[in-house]
Amino acid sequence: MAASFSLSSARDSTSDTPEPGMWCQFDWGDGPRVDGRRTWLWCAWLAWPRFRVVIPVLDKTLPTVASCLDSTF
């Protein structure tokens, strides 16, 4: 009886806890106006070490996102 209970209650999936360096999340924030031009803030954080990065940028184009990712890591 105990053996069948332990087999039926065993986990069959992994935890949702990310491995170190395997989870990065980013978002955009409104930055200050510089010479009348709108700016954005790239806000990224790594879940495991709770490391945060904030980079001011002038646009949200793909080359800018790639550059921000490169700077983050």
CB 43, CB 52: distance < 8 Å? yes
Instruction: Identify the CA nearest to 65 among candidates 22, 27, 23, 20.
Output: 27
Structure confidence at residue 24 (pLDDT):
83
- Per-residue confidence in pLDDT tens, the chain, 73 aa: 666 656 655 566 666 776 766 788 899 999 999 999 999 999 998 877 778 899 999 999 999 999 999 998 8
CB 72, CB 53: distance < 8 Å? yes
Structure confidence at residue 50 (pLDDT):
73
Burial of 47 (0-12, 13-18, 19+ CB in 10 A): middle
Structure confidence at residue 47 (pLDDT):
74
State the Cα–Cα distance between residues 65 and 52, nearest whole angstrom.
16
- Global pTM reads 0.65
